Structure formats: C-alpha cells, structure tokens
Structure 1
Amino acid sequence: MKKYLINLSKYLGMCVLSMGISSHALADVIFSNFGPGYTYNVSSGNVVGDGFDGSIYSEGDSFAPIQNAVFGSLRIALSEVFPGSQGTSLTISLTADSGNAPGAVLESWLLAPGSLGLLGNNNAPVVLNSSLNLMLLAGTEYWITASLGGMGNAVAWNWNSIGDMNAHAINDGSGWFSPSGMTPGAFEVDSAASVPEPSTLALFGVAFAGIAARSRRKPRHPGAR
C-alpha cells in the first residue's frame, strides 16, 4: 500500500509538472490604468454622447501591449451622467490605430440602455469578454472607444486616478481629434485565459491510466507464484 501511494504521488507530480511546462498563467494584464482594487475617479469623466453644447461626442483612449498577447477581455469604468441618461445602447469598440487616432474597428460590444450606475457612485467596472480573441502585437498602438447616439443621452467614461496620460481622442462628429490632452478614462485590457495544450492532456491521460491500472492489480501474498 505504501509503495502504491508513492507511485501515485509520482503520477500526480508528473501531471502538475506537465501543466507548468505546457501552459501559461490563466490571464495577464495587457494594460491597466486603474488604481489598486480597480479604483478610478468616481466623480468625473469624459462625456460620451450629448455634451449639451450642440454636439454628440465619442471618446477614445490608447494603449500599446508590451508583448504579444491574445485579447481576452476589457474592463472599463462607465457611469450614467444623470438618471436615465443612457437612453440608447452604448457602443464600446477595440480599434486599430490610424495616424495616432482610432481607426478600423476590430471588435465591438453593445451595452443595453439603463445598464450603468450613476456618476458619483463607486460603480463596478463593466467587464466585456472577447469572442474573437484577436492577437495584439507588442508595441502596436490600439484604441478603446465609446460612443452613444441621440440628443439627451449622456454617459461618463470615468477618469483614471493614477495620472495616466496616454493619448486620448475625441470626436464631435467631424472626425477624431488626437491627442486631445484630456485625461484618459479608466480601463484594463486582459489576455485570454490559457488552456492546457494537447500534449498536456495526453500526459494526463497516460498518468491516470497508470493509476487506474495499478489500482486494479491485486496484492501478492507471501509465497504466491
């Protein structure tokens, strides 16, 4: 029995070791300008939608991965400016860069009307998961943009609270103006969670097959042949 337990430990150890070799951490932060614990400026932000000055605004903030990574999810701090001001769907997009401004849309999400908390509250950042899992290239500039149509509809992209001043872009309907010099909104881009590679799964199969075979083997009594 003792020998069996030792061999079982060896099999399990092989499984753990193979996992460490063949897969990466579950998810890595590609970019973030949140403070500790996803903190941000709860009382101020850049207006998305009606600026109540005759213009409808879209906002964009840039980031550049420090290494190649598969895009997994976006976490973004958004709030209604006043109750009911998110009257239509809010569009959030990941875009390519075009002359230091947002360019071609790579992936988009729609946030239903009334889905955000009110400005001034410590609302949980919105989490948007990628279905395309695009490869983001190291050192390449990308943008996160937010737009909301219709007069009277206004959302705030809450400012970051750590002093990040990456390029920010604003569009009042006449095209993107960048860099605007405005404080970027708070957001985080995470890589996709990795899964065990086929070779790892195969090793698991071999290991557990060995465990099963050993558990079926009957112990030999002294003197038995």
Structure 2
Amino acid sequence: MNAIDLRGKTALLTGGCGGIGVAVNERMSASGATVVTWDLAEAADDRVDVASEEAVDAAMERLLARHGHLDILVNCAGITGPNQPIERYSLADWRRTLDVNLTSTFLCCRAAVPAMRQRNAGRIVNLASIAGKEGNAMMTAYSAAKGAVIALTKALAKELADTEVRVNCVAPAVIATDLIKQMSPETYATVIAKIPLGRPGRPDEVAALIAWLASDECSFSTGACFDLSGGRATY
C-alpha cells in the first residue's frame, strides 16, 4: 500500500528523465499524481531547456492550458559540471553549471508560484546536494550552485509563509545512478568512505522523501533542507 496520497495532483518534474527523476516520476505516479516531465531528452513529456527564461515561461503556459492547475513542482534538473581545480575552471563551464542547477530552479519557481498563489496551495521541492552544505573539492560551481539552491529555498519559503504553499529542499550525498559509473574506483572509494552507512543512496530513497514533501501531509515544514546523506551531513 502506498501511504502517500497524491491523487488529483498535477506535478511538474524537471530533469524527469535522469536517474533520480525517473524514480521520482514512478513514485509520484504510483501515489496518484499526474506527472509532467520537463527535460531535453526525447522521452520527456515536454522538451524544455529549463535554463531558458523563454522556454520555461512558454512551457508553463502549455502545462496550465492543458491541466488547468499546478499542485507540485519538483526541481530535479542538474549537472555536476567539470571536475577541475578552480584555476582551470572556465567561465563558460561556471555559468553553464550555475544556469542548469540554480537559474533553472529560480525560473521554474518563478513560473509556478503565480498559479499556486491563485489557488493558495502547492508544494515546491528543490534538489540540492551535500555539496551545497559541505563543498566538494574540484567542484566549485556545483557546490556554489547547490548552496544557493538551499538559500533560495529558505528565502522563497519565507516569502510564501502567508500562503498554504510549502517550499523545501533535499540534500543527497552520492546516489546510485549512472553518475557512479563515471567515477574511478579510487574516487568511488573516497566518496563512500565519507558516508557512515557505507553505501550510496538509492534513487527510490530520494523519491520517497520527495513524495512526502510534495504531499499534503507536509504541512508544517517549510524552508527546510532535508538530509539524505547516510549520516554524512553534520548540520
């Protein structure tokens, strides 16, 4: 039995074709939500460059015209960017990494909030990262972007505190997606050594937390950053 009830909810999921996005889609669909995925992949319900202001605003118009309302926004789109020391990090890579992780979150929140305000209801869940709390060496842009996602979440939650819209974020450590396959055995061992539980997280574990945060049961939590790091996070 699926304890989370999202029946009658329309959910927008960015990055819905990635490893975590697929798991979130499956979990929210199983909970009864109508899920609309935005991604650049062909499998997306709507192919949208979420780092583009024009593309996001146009896609939101299409979504509302078709579904009439938006109850849930999950900002799951993201890239890690290059793994480089800062002196070799190009400005183009810096800007692209911030655009995909941070600017997309801003643009999608900005597009979604008016519809949620109108109905005085909604849930926004942003995907941050343990890198946004601790900082990952050789990943300055990604760490900065995810730290800013946490700050954006807290600020927007306060901005919407006079409504029934709740805004939270999730900060995972390494999750067992295709990203792990790109790591060398040495890098993987180093990453896992930081996690007291001694393993990566699973996409379905991320999806389970996001499903609750997107539900009506999450009524008194807003502006929070929920740890999903197997004990790695210290605050």
Higher relative contact order (CA 8 A, sep 6+): 1
Same fold per TM (> 0.5)? no
Max radius of gyration: which structure?
Answer: 1
TM normalised by structure 2 equals 0.24
Structure having the larger proportion of residues in helix: 2
